């Protein structure tokens, strides 16, 4: 490690959001030309920390020093001025503009408002060369793959002379090849003296890439690993605060009969791929894959939100093919969606109204709401799922992520489903709630409910699933039993390497 | 009663008191009778559009539907149709109009603004064409006349007229529907978050269509009430701009154009405030040319105050929660 003072030093950083303490007393330092990885479970505060550095949020407490000088980063433009660029997981490029226009967006060289096109294209070409992207600068961004778009984002960071580039889960939707290309570029940047903060859930690539690893847990520093200390087990232990075997202590129950079966199902975004699988009573089926592999779309099709274009499904021996979520719910299928705030909850309504929303149509008499019944249902749900809320009239947007997710689950459990679909069930929630949700999944499976969950968190897939389907570009590329399960096998299948399995 | 309704009620009392203080002739039987009557007419339209606004939509065609219904009524009377049958058919027509709006918005996925703007133009044109754009008088149709514009003397010169009783019935049913039935709850849920409602198994399209049907139906009812009240119809003018009064009443009464919020009682009081303002501008001695400007300013002030209060409450609440946690 270089002896010189750190390039960036954040100390005692604290940040509150309504209902959540996102960060508390977090310290982070970064040296010049260093690749620092930031790891932690969903909801550990990694993204929040990065948004503070990039000027998207302001910290409530603490100080940030750049080259030893105290700075206050109040907006994105200021962050740029200090040489900090954040590349989001969902890229921020304009599809309808070409590469050069995207690189210079907001910083166009101009004379009295008239853009200097020649200079934009000339300089863009130089940046593309530095990241090894061989495309004409007037190529539309819409025509590039996600991997190439990522490189355009990096070029954009270079164009504003960034000395610190933060990458938030850059490989979450990249193929193996694209990922390797990206790592090459990252190492190249390092050799040019640029510092990288790298966020990833893939511990394998973290080990390959990092000089140093900082671990966050529930919004606090959990520890730091340097050089040879960076091992898979060491990181996971810091991430969950205990040995992995204690965290996911899944008691495997005897499997019953097949209760849900899918045959040749074709979803609207991937009409050419036929998907077939089945779930047995008491079984928890995990679905792994890259972002954009069609996992969410599969769940939405089973739930009737985007009705299937072909194939058949059978639940408890009965054929069904829901054309709307109402049909799916009526036949016993429920979905806790990935985007909790947009799809799972009515944020401005209270806990009681959210828990009863699906149930109302069954408890009504000539359309009139039975308020006593509704109140009792809410109280029961709050108690059974241990939802932390002052009262059932609390508006759900003021609850923490974990408690919001419990409200979603409470709404569905009151319907006594036969098939529970969970899309990224633990995204953005604290470790305590996470374990409660795992326990709930187990209990439900043991009681005969078929549970299918989609997760991008490898440890979760490996720890919770009895069996794992791996998807790649809309197709199922593998079906792994608990004995065959390991990170390597899942990654190979998820990135489209069939041979390895 | 929620905070918004208390606020709007205070505004009403304030303007009422000020007008009375400036002109003691303000409170007399005749003027009060009119105030209640016209407020009721505005409120019925306001309640209708409130349902649409709760879904996050808008209906600009209300005034033209009123004009169309009134014109057709006048024609039917002229050609000596059975008056009762005519009334039933006209209410049926307004339901069909709402249904068309709803279908175009949910199935063809057109924007509510565009659909109802075209409605505004279309129905007005039809009214003028059918009547040859002639002003038409209403020869009395005895029973219906007293049903739609009758008066019940209370004391002195103060009387409650038919629109008031219509409003009481409409308001009671609307409030019950919105607050006590599952459909009212679904409507609020879909107004807040349409996707969220759909993911909970709510048939959002049907509910939205129902909201437009309710709105047009109440516009049709208002059309009949206005026609009998005015005893004459000018196809080019009857009902003109009324959609804007209705929307203003709904917004001032606590409906957010973003959807998901609404209180029937608030809308009624807000309709009364708007009517009261028109009345008091006259009586206080402000130039009547300023009428629209003053109504506009009061509504703007009202919704701004509401927004600011909401922001303060939200801030305080999130602060309370975070301090109670750490």
For B11-68, how does the pLDDT look when each residue is reduced to its tens digit (9 = 90+)? 999 999 999 999 888 889 899 999 999 999 999 999 999 999 999 999 999 999 999 9
> If contacts are CB pairs under 8 Å, which of residues 303-332 in chain A contact chain B?
303, 305, 324-326, 328-330
**How many domains, in total, are found in chain B?**
1
Give the HSE-up count for residue B161: Cα atoms under 13 Å, Cβ half-sphere.
24
pLDDT of residue A499: 47
Give the gap in angstroms from C-alpha B313 to the nearest C-alpha of chain A. Answer: 13
Q: Which pLDDT score, from 0 to 100, does residue A112 have?
A: 87
Q: Which of B197, B199, B260 sits opposite A335 (nearest CB)?
A: B199
B201 — alpha (psi -120 to 50), left (phi > 0) or beta? Answer: left
Q: Which residues of A touch B192 (CB under 8 A)?
A: 346-349
Q: What is the pLDDT of residue B98?
A: 98
Query: Is residue B206 pLDDT above 80, yes or no?
Result: yes
| Cβ contacts of A21 within 8 Å, gap of 6 or more | A14, A15, A219, B322, B325, B326
User: Residue B188: its chain A contacts at CB < 8 A?
Assistant: 349
Measured in angstroms, the CA of B245 and the nearest CA of chain A are apart by 28
Residue A368 is nearest to which of B180, B192, B203, comparing CB atoms?
A: B180
What distance in Å separates residue A390's CA from the closest CA in chain B?
Answer: 9
Q: Does B237 touch chain A (CB under 8 A)?
A: no
pLDDT of A500 reads 43
Does B220 contact chain A (CB < 8 Å)?
A: no
Least confident of A56-70, B1-15, B226-240, B272-286: B1-15
pLDDT, position A501: 40
CATH code 3.40.50.300 region(s) in chain A? 8-243, 256-332+418-501
- The domain spanning residue B137 has which CATH number? 1.10.3470
Q: Is B202 within 8 Å of chain A by CB?
A: yes
Question: CA–CA separation, B202 vs B30, rounded Å?
Answer: 49
Nearest chain B Cα to A336, which residue? B199
**CA distances from residue A321 to A285, A329, A334, B169 in whole angstroms, order as listed:** 20, 12, 14, 44
**Class of the domain covering A256-332+418-501:** alpha beta
What residue ranges in A318-436 does DSSP mark as E strands? Answer: 318-320, 333-336, 419-423
Q: Which of A70, A130, A74, A80 is nearest to A105 (CA)?
A: A80
With a cut of 50, list the residues of chain A below it in pLDDT: 1, 499-501
Q: Which of A16, A335, A348 sits opposite B260 (nearest CB)?
A: A348
Exposure of B182 in the CB half-sphere (CA atoms within 13 A): 21
A374 closest CA partner among A396, A351, A347: A351
User: Using the beta-carbon criterion (under 8 Å), do A342 and B181 form an inter-chain contact?
Assistant: no
What pLDDT shows up at residue A428? 78
- Chain B partners within 8 Å of A360 (Cβ): 182, 185-186
Asked if B180 lies within 8 A of A345 by C-beta distance, the reply is no
Are the beta carbons of A434 and A378 closer than 8 angstroms? no
Is the CB of residue A65 less than 8 Å away from at least one CB of chain B? no
pLDDT at B321: 56
Rg value, chain A, Cα: 24
What 8-state DSSP symbol labels residue A254?
P
- When pLDDT is cut at 50, 70 and 90, the band that residue B142 belongs to is low
**Which of A305, A323, A360, A389 is most worth mutating to test chain B (most B CB atoms within 10 A of its CB)?**
A360
The residue in chain A having the minimum alpha-carbon distance to the alpha carbon of residue B202 is A326
* Residue A360 near chain B (CB below 8 Å): yes
Each residue's pLDDT tens digit, B153-185: 888 888 899 999 999 999 999 999 999 999 999
Q: How far is CA B196 from the centre of its chain?
A: 28
Three-class HEC string of A417-440: CCEEEEECCCCCCCHHHHHHHHHH
Q: What is the mean pLDDT of residues B267-285?
A: 92
Q: What is the largest CA-CA distance in chain A?
A: 76
B54 contact partners, CB below 8 Å, separation of at least 6: B178, B187, B188, B191, B211, B255, B259, B260, B261, B262
Q: Write down the mean pLDDT value for chain B.
A: 90
A285 in helix, strand or coil? Answer: strand
Name the residue of chain B whose CA is nearest to A371's CA: B180
Distance from CA of A402 to the nearest CA of B (A): 14
Angle at which helices B264-284 and B162-180 pack, to 10 degrees? 140
The residues in A 392-431 lying below 8 A from B, measured between CB atoms, are: 398, 411
A375 touches chain B (CB under 8 A): no
CB contact under 8 A, A369 and B326: no
Q: Does A358 touch chain B (CB under 8 A)?
A: yes
- By C-alpha distance, the chain B residue nearest A305 is B199
Q: What is the DSSP letter of A132?
A: T
Cβ separation of A398 and B185 shorter than 8 Å? no
pLDDT at position B140 is 65
Question: B185 and A369: CB-CB below 8 Å?
Answer: yes
Q: Is A435 near chain B, with CB under 8 Å?
A: no
Q: Which residue has the higher pLDDT, B298 or B208?
A: B208
For A348, nearest residue in chain B (alpha carbons): B192
Which CATH fold would you assign to the domain A8-243? Rossmann fold (3.40.50)
State residue B307's pLDDT score: 82
- Locate tokens 């969220």: which residue? B196
Instruction: Look at residues B210, B189, B237, B228 and name the one whose alpha carbon lies nearest to residue B67.
Output: B237
Does A113 touch chain B if contact means CB atoms closer than 8 Å?
no
Q: Is it the case that residue B326 has pLDDT exceeding 50?
A: no
Range(s) of the domain holding residue B200: 3-325
Contact A19 B182 (CB under 8 A): no
Q: A232 is written with which tokens?
A: 């898979």
Q: To the nearest whole angstrom, how far is the Cα of A340 from the nearest Cα of chain B? A: 9
Across the interface, which of B181, B186, B201 has its CB nearest the CB of A329? B201
Antiparallel, parallel or unpaired: β A318-320 and B232-233: unpaired
Residue of chain B whose Cα is closest to the Cα of A362: B182
Identify any residues that bridge with A224 across adjacent strands, giving them in sequence order.
A214
User: ipTM of this complex > 0.90?
Assistant: no
């Amino acid at each position: 490690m270089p002896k010189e003072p750190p390039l960036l030093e954040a100390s005692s950083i604290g940040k509150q959001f309504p209902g959540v303490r996102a960060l508390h007393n977090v310290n982070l330092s970064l040296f010049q030309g260093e690749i620092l990885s930031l790891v932690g479970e969903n909801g550990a505060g990694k993204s929040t920390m990065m948004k503070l550095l990039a000027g998207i949020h302001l910290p409530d407490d603490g100080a940030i020093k750049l080259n030893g000088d105290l700075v206050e980063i109040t907006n994105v433009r200021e962050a740029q001025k200090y040489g900090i660029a954040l590349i989001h997981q969902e890229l921020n490029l304009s599809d309808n503009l070409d590469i050069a226009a995207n690189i210079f967006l907001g910083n166009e060289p101009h004379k009295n408002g008239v853009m200097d096109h020649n200079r934009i294209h000339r300089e863009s070409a130089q940046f593309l060369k530095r990241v090894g992207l061989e495309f004409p600068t007037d190529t539309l961004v819409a025509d590039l793959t996600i991997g190439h778009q990522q490189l355009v984002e990096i070029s954009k960071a270079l164009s504003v002379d960034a000395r610190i580039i933060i990458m938030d889960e850059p490989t979450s939707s990249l193929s193996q090849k694209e990922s390797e290309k990206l790592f090459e570029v990252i190492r190249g940047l390092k050799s040019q003296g640029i510092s990288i903060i790298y966020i990833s859930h893939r511990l394998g690539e973290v080990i390959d890439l990092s000089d140093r690893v900082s671990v966050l847990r529930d919004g606090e520093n959990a520890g730091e690993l340097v050089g040879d200390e960076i091992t898979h087990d060491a990181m996971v232990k810091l991430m969950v605060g205990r040995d992995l075997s204690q965290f996911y202590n899944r008691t495997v129950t005897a499997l019953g009969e097949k209760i849900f079966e899918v045959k040749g199902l074709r979803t609207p975004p991937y009409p050419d791929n036929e998907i077939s699988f089945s779930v047995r009573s008491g079984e928890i089926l995990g679905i792994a894959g890259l972002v954009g592999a069609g996992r969410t779309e599969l769940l939405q099709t089973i739930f009737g939100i985007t009705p299937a274009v072909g194939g058949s499904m059978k639940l408890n021996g009965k054929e069904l093919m829901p054309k709307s979520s109402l049909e799916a719910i009526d036949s016993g299928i429920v979905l806790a969606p990935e985007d909790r705030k947009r799809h799972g909850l009515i944020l401005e309504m209270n806990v009681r109204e959210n828990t009863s929303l699906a149930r109302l149509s069954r408890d009504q008499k000539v359309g009139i709401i039975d308020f006593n019944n509704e109140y009792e249902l809410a109280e029961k749900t709050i108690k059974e799922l241990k939802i932390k809320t002052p009262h059932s009239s609390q508006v759900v947007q003021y609850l923490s992520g974990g408690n919001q997710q419990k409200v979603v689950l409470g709404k569905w459990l009151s319907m006594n489903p036969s098939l529970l679909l969970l899309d990224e069930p633990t995204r953005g929630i604290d470790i305590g709630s996470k374990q409660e949700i795992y326990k709930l999944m187990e209990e439900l499976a043991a009681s005969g409910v078929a549970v299918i969950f989609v997760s991008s968190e490898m440890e979760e897939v490996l720890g919770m699933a009895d069996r794992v389907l791996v998807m790649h570009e809309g197709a199922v590329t593998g079906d792994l039993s608990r004995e065959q399960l390991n990170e390597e096998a899942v990654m190979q299948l998820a990135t489209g390497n069939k041979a390895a399995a | 009663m929620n905070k918004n309704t208390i606020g709007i009620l205070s505004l009403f009392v304030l303007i009422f008191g000020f007008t009375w203080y400036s002109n003691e002739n303000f409170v007399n039987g005749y003027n009060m009778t009119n105030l209640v009557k016209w407020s009721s007419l505005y409120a019925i339209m306001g309640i209708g559009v409130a349902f649409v606004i709760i879904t996050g939509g808008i209906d600009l065609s209300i005034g033209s539907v009123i004009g169309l219904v009134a014109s057709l009524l006048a024609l039917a009377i002229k050609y000596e149709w059975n008056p009762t049958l005519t009334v039933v058919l006209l209410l049926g027509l307004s339901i069909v109009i709402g249904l068309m709006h709803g279908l175009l918005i949910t199935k063809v996925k057109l924007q509510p603004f565009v659909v109802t703007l075209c409605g505004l133009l279309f129905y007005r044109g039809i009214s003028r064409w059918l009547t040859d754009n002639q002003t038409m008088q209403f020869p009395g149709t005895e029973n219906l006349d007293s049903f739609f514009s009758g008066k019940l003397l209370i004391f002195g010169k103060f009387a409650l007229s038919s629109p008031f009783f219509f409003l009481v019935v409409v308001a009671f049913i609307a409030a019950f529907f919105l607050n006590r039935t599952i459909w009212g709850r679904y409507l609020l849920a879909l107004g807040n978050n349409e996707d969220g409602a759909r993911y909970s198994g709510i048939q959002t399209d049907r509910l939205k269509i129902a909201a437009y049907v309710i709105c047009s139906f109440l516009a049709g009812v208002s059309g009949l009430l206005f026609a009998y009240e005015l005893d004459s119809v000018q196809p080019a003018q009857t009902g003109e701009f009324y959609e804007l009064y209705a929307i203003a009443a709904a917004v001032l009464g606590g409906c957010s154009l973003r959807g998901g919020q609404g209180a029937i009682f608030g809308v009624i009081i807000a309709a009364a405030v708007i009517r009261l303002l028109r009345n008091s501008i006259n009586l206080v001695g402000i130039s009547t040319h300023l009428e629209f400007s003053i109504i506009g300013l009061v509504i703007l002030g009202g919704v701004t105050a509401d927004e600011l209060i909401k922001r303060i409450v939200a801030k305080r609440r999130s602060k309370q929660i975070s301090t109670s946690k750490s």
